[in-house]
Amino acid sequence: MLPNSLMKLHPGGLEVIPLRLFALLILVIGLACGPAHADRRVALVIGNSAYKSAPKLGNPVNDATLVGGMFKKAGFDSVDVRLDLSASEMRRMLREFAGRTRDADMAVIYYAGHGIELDGNNYLIPTDATLETDGDVLDETIPVERALFAVEPAKQLRLIILDACRDNPFAKSMKRTLASRAIGRGLAKVEPTSPNTMIAFAAKAGSTASDGDSRNSPFATALVEHLPKPGLDLRKAFGFVRDDVLKATGYKQEPYVYGSLGGDDLPLVVRPPATGPQANPQEAIRRDYELALQLATRDGWEAFLAQYPDGFYANLAKGQLNKIGAEETRASAEQKAKAAEQEKTRLIAERAQKAEQEKAAAAAKAAEEARIAAEKQKQIEQAKAEAAERQRKAAEAAAAKALAEKQAAEKTKAELAAKQAAEKAPADPAAKPTADRQLPEAEQKVAALSPAPASTLSAADLAKSVQSELRRVGCLTSAAEGEWTSAAQRSLTLFNKYAGTQFDVKLASVDALDALKAKPGRVCPLVCNFGFKADGDQCVKITCRAGYRVGDDNECEKIQEKKPVAREESIRRDQGRREAESATPKSQASGQIICNSAGCRPVAKGCRLGLVPNANASVKITGEVCN
């Protein structure tokens, strides 16, 4: 058995195929089969304008052509556009479309023309219908349920769009065979029984729709604007359609959608996968890194490095781990230094030998030096970690900036393509006012601007005016002069810093003067000395109440009472030393040495050094005092 290879039988024997080549083959097959699983979308578009027994409608044919072109540009697999169909032709087209929806994931029917509501049921009117009586509706029209039956086999979405809520001319001349039979205005409310089924009306149930004054109806224009947006959920898209139609008709026509969809977004056009550079391809690693950064423990960083041992964030994690190690070393050294200091104090209190005291002092000194070295190392590691963290944030900001620039470039490219397409399309005088109204507000404002008149100020007046404005916004403290001094240059530098401008500080310019005049108040912050605080545009002295004083942070803080603990301890220690020195020693060898003209010798047993009178008895000298 070969663990890292596969065996393939050939006529000549066995041939070993490396496992990685087999995996590569499987990957290629998977990629080749990927497009076969793409969603299949089909659409049927019908527009009836040329009615034989009613006045001709101007927009349905244009609307059907426009919507059909939208479905084709959206990449639908099958788009069938039919115009001015009779009853038999409409039935045949719905029957053929039902066959195409059997293997489709998304099926859409769009109908523009006349419709009628009879006893709560909706019907689509073919071009050859006469409808002399209300009984002819059942024979000469197509029920909306027939369209629902045609889209029923679709697996993911069943959508019917009806722009058939126009004022019905047949209702005025139609004879009633039954007085109680109701013929409504517009279409009746519909509640689909199948899941993932939506029916969109150009106007709310019981109201009529408008054809508008242009080539296409407001409803069709809004549909083409919003439905093909990649990744836009249908419910939100129809919400945008509703808003546009309400505005275009003066809030007289409100489109409405019946039915419901699931919780997931369901766009008509799926957003294409991103092909450009991503802002942060290691999003999951970044989130885990930030979580470990918040935890800030050795276990957290070790767990992160176990999951991500290599890469940019792994290096940052190692730096954080070194920082924690430096802190632990510093804490350990500080603890050892405290223990050494305590041991030193204990030895002094027990009047240890000088050698032991020197040894303890050396140990304390070594421990203190180790603590200082550990503290410095901690500071170094902390600085490295902070620098690495700044580099990480800078890298993420650069990636986000690159993504924003790419998106802006793609948007500009798309707008240029749309503009070129609009220039190639046939000119429509009726649509020109609408296009003018849709110009961005910023472009209209730019077009309305006129060139500003050239400045007539002299160089001295300009310099003095700029300095006066710099004083007003708080960036200049000296008086305004007719010369552009170094103080004025420094004040303009401060204005550039806090106002976000980039004016040349070497000279006074009209642009700088205009920018200064545009500022309504102070730009540069007011800086006060210690003991003063900013109050509006002035610095006032800080006054603290009794028992408080101005602290290092320039805020009032309570004065702490000083307790002479250290001095009292020193006094007690000195007094104890003097009492010990003046106490009478026991009669034993003291280990003291006495020196005179004959030489030096140990003090005799039972004696000690003390003050004894000299030969003239006027002055006492150090000598041997025995019991």
What is the residue-wise DSSP string for 251-302? S----EEEEE--SS--BSSPPPPP-S--S-TTHHHHHHHHHHHHH-SHHHHH
Q: Are the C-beta atoms of residues 167 and 115 closer than 8 Å to each other?
A: no
pLDDT tens profile 355-395? 888 888 999 999 999 999 999 999 999 999 889 888 888 88
Given a cut of 80, is residue 296 above it in pLDDT? yes
Which of these, 624, 578, 617, lies nearest to 598 by C-alpha position? Answer: 624
pLDDT tens profile 517-545? 999 988 898 878 788 888 877 788 898 98
Distances (CA, A) of 580 to 347, 482, 573, 574: 17, 83, 11, 10
Given a cut of 70, is residue 9 above it in pLDDT? no
| Amino acid (1-letter code) at residue 290 | E
Given a cut of 80, is residue 404 above it in pLDDT? yes
The per-residue pLDDT for 280 is 62
The per-residue pLDDT for 538 is 78
Given a cut of 80, is residue 444 above it in pLDDT? no
Given a cut of 80, is residue 87 above it in pLDDT? yes
pTM score over 0.85: no
Q: Are the C-beta atoms of residues 252 and 219 closer than 8 Å to each other?
A: no
Three-state DSSP class for residue 558: strand
- What integer is the mean pLDDT of 197-223? 86
Strand order in the sheet with 121-124: 115-118, 121-124, 142-143
Given a cut of 50, is residue 449 above it in pLDDT? no
Phi, psi of 332 (to 5 degrees): -65, -40
Residue with the bigger pLDDT between 32 and 216: it is 216
Three-state DSSP class for residue 121: strand
Residue with the bigger pLDDT between 263 and 101: it is 101
Residue 422, CA atoms < 13 Å, CB-side half-sphere: 10
Given a cut of 50, is residue 443 above it in pLDDT? no
Instruction: Write the DSSP symbol of residue 122.
Output: E
Q: Are the C-beta atoms of residues 92 and 82 closer than 8 Å to each other?
A: no
The per-residue pLDDT for 562 is 65
- What integer is the mean pLDDT of 603-619? 75
- What integer is the mean pLDDT of 228-236? 92
Q: Which residues sit opposite 621 in a β-bridge?
A: 612
Given a cut of 50, is residue 93 above it in pLDDT? yes
pLDDT tens profile 96-152? 999 999 999 999 999 999 999 888 899 999 999 998 898 889 999 999 999 999 999
The per-residue pLDDT for 198 is 93
- What integer is the mean pLDDT of 272-280? 60
